[in-house]
A and B are shown apart, each in its own frame.
Chain A
Amino acid sequence: MTTAPVLSLNNIHKAFGGVVAIQDFSLELFPGEIVALVGDNGAGKSTLIAIVSGLHRPNSGEILLDGETVSLSDASSARSRGIEVVYQDLALANDQPVYMNMFLGRELTRKPLGLLDKARMRSETQTMLDQLDVHIPSARSKVRDLSGGQRQGVAIARATHWASKLILLDEPTAALGVAETAKVEEIVASLKERNLAILIVSHSLDQVFRLSDRICVLRRGEQIGVRSTPETDKNEIVSMITGVHA
């Protein structure tokens, strides 16, 4: 691969008071690849996602987007640079219709009064969902009335629509059944074709091996290593996660 990395993390360090959550973490993400971030509870995965999405500032280290050093001071600054996040709790407004969630904070308006262009938001929402093959009763449906898989689909479709560089997914299938998990995996896999870089946090090694191109292992904030998925196996990853050699 000769393309330049979309995201480079160099020697990222983050501590909460005395607790070191991430130390000396470095990783490059390339367009069109899926990298899985694995590790036990408390390893620092969500903290890393929060750093890249602008919710936490690292204590030291640098973040480069397309080779340029950036400072991500809040969620808006990450979003405006083409980084989208599918949070573990999805960050959807349950009593609002799907189309308003799709455009949350970026509502389309119509001249001359600047009023909401609901018709266009609805039709664009339908297009986004169709493209990812997410089926919901209607763009007008309230999020509350959707199944867990449908909500996840909506959250991923939203991220996909607005992301131009990078999508971060924090345990996107943790709350889903077998069929819905398969569906979400299918959607995530299809994002590669859009040339986006994808960083996915997952506790399911089966899933990680099905989806990812590379696997990055964290243990208690320490980066244990990065492996190319076809060149490793579950035993190796498990021993990296736990620190116990089989």
Chain B
Amino acid sequence: MEAVLSRIKRLDLQRSVIYFGFLAIFLFFAATLHNDGFLTTRNLTNIVLQTAPATIMAIGLVFALSAGEIDLSFGSIVAVSALAAAVAMQNGPMVFGVVAGLGAGVLIGAFNGVLVAYLRLPSFLVTLATLGLFAGIARSMTDLRSIPVINDAFTGFFGSGKLLGVPSLVIWTGAAVAIGHVLYRYSRFGAHVLAVGDNARAAQVSGIKVPRIRLLVLTLCGATAGLAGLLYAGRLQAAKYTLGESDLMTVIAAVIVGGTALNGGKGSIIGALLGSLMMGMLNNGLILMGLKVSDQMIVRGVIILVAVAVSLRDTRR
């Protein structure tokens, strides 16, 4: 009985770590920075806009981790996708850019997936290698040059545009989270992803095609990174090889803090959204506090360390 009670407490705590953390950081900045404009609608909207690409990549990563795999290469995929889109639109319509950007993401993700699912190479090593490989390809694609994106339809759709007064990046975030959540919690695919990450042998003897699930989650990661690349290119109206370079830590931290287990079988899309927003608030708040960039990095690193440690204490067993 006592064991049961403590179990229930632990479960509740694990679910609420991200809610408490999110609220605590929000309240802290709201209290200390209310004169510096933290609480303005504009600033809060900005946080959502800035975190949109990271949130969308976090959704892909939740699927990969839940299936017992990991993707470290998404930062490079972002750059390759954004560059591919920008180059395709130099002489073509918006649709060329979308197809090139998303296509690059899906293909690279599938490449990772085939190596992991069918050659049974560890995803950690495969995606570490492709992280470097595609970082190099991104650099060589345009000789380190930045490519402007001047297609208004594209920059509106993926960047500064609005629909009924709602910024497009907010809509992208909302749509991705909603679709991701339903897929994760209410579809057979989501159930199979969790089963594979939880006990691959049990999944296999239950008729689940385990390699196919591994291929799909890594392809999904590539697709979300591709979409993130389009959003960066749309918002910044340019593509460069540095895009996505600094997202690795942010996205992984967002996902872990959001309650997704590192070793599979457990996770949350809503948690990943809150985790990503929390990282965004942190960046934003530390800048508003007037910290030097070096100090920002240090403080952010420490807070992420604490948050990840607390979250893992509850997700790991």
A→B interface (CB under 8 Å):
53, 55, 75-76, 79, 85, 87, 89-96, 100, 104-107, 109, 114-116, 118, 137, 144-145
Further 4 A-B residue pairs, CB within 8 A, beyond A92-B202, A95-B261, A95-B265: A90-B202, A96-B198, A104-B206, A106-B207
Query: How far is it, in angstroms, between the C-alpha of A107 and the C-alpha of B190 when the chains are bound?
Result: 11
In the complex the two chains form, is A104's CB within 8 Å of B266's CB? no
Query: How far is it, in angstroms, between the C-alpha of A55 and the C-alpha of B206 when the chains are bound?
Result: 12
Interface presence of B162 (CB below 8 A)? no
Closest to B183 in A: A115
Query: How far is it, in angstroms, between the C-alpha of A108 and the C-alpha of B261 when the chains are bound?
Result: 26
Residue in contact with B188 in the complex, picked from A91, A94, A96, A107, CB distance below 8 Å: A107
Q: Which residues of B contact A55 (CB under 8 A)?
A: 205
A152 to B: closest C-beta gap in Å: 14
Interface presence of B204 (CB below 8 A)? yes
Interface presence of B208 (CB below 8 A)? yes
In the complex the two chains form, is A104's CB within 8 Å of B195's CB? yes
In the complex the two chains form, is B205's CB within 8 Å of A85's CB? yes
Q: Which residues of A contact B194 (CB under 8 A)?
A: 93, 95-96, 100
Residue in contact with B187 in the complex, picked from A75, A92, A93, A115, CB distance below 8 Å: A115
Question: Which 6 A-B residue pairings sit nearest by Cβ, starting from the closest?
Answer: A105-B206, A93-B198, A91-B202, A104-B206, A105-B207, A95-B265
Bitwise interface map of B from 174 to 188 toward A, beta carbon under 8 Å scored 1, else 0:
000000001000111
User: Which chain B residues (10-48) contact chain A, with CB distance < 8 Å?
Assistant: none
In the complex the two chains form, is B265's CB within 8 Å of A104's CB? no
Q: Which residues of A contact B317 (CB under 8 A)?
A: 144
In the complex the two chains form, is B7's CB within 8 Å of A145's CB? yes
Closest to A104 in B: B206
In the complex the two chains form, is B188's CB within 8 Å of A75's CB? no
Number of interface residues of B (CB under 8 A): 24
In the complex the two chains form, is A96's CB within 8 Å of B265's CB? yes
Q: Which residues of B contact A94 (CB under 8 A)?
A: 198-199, 265
Closest to B264 in A: A95
Given A106-B207, A107-B188, A116-B191, are A95 and B4 also a contact pair (CB < 8 Å)?
no
Interface centre among A104, A106, A115, A144 (most CB of B within 10 A): A104
Query: How far is it, in angstroms, between the C-alpha of A144 and the C-alpha of B266 when the chains are bound?
Result: 13
Closest to B263 in A: A95
Query: How far is it, in angstroms, between the C-alpha of A104 and the C-alpha of B191 when the chains are bound?
Result: 8
A140 to B: closest C-beta gap in Å: 11
A206 to B: closest C-beta gap in Å: 30
A28 to B: closest C-beta gap in Å: 25
Q: Would you mind naming 18 contact pairs between A and B with Cβ atoms under 8 Å apart?
A: A75-B204, A76-B207, A90-B202, A91-B205, A91-B206, A92-B199, A93-B202, A93-B265, A95-B261, A100-B194, A105-B206, A106-B207, A107-B191, A114-B188, A116-B187, A116-B188, A116-B191, A137-B4
In the complex the two chains form, is B191's CB within 8 Å of A100's CB? yes
A73 to B: closest C-beta gap in Å: 13
B179 to A: closest C-beta gap in Å: 12
Interface presence of B120 (CB below 8 A)? no
In the complex the two chains form, is B187's CB within 8 Å of A104's CB? no
A40 to B: closest C-beta gap in Å: 26
Closest to B202 in A: A91
Interface presence of B201 (CB below 8 A)? yes
B10 to A: closest C-beta gap in Å: 11
Residue in contact with B207 in the complex, picked from A79, A85, A90, CB distance below 8 Å: A79
Interface presence of B308 (CB below 8 A)? no
Interface presence of B203 (CB below 8 A)? yes
Closest to A108 in B: B188
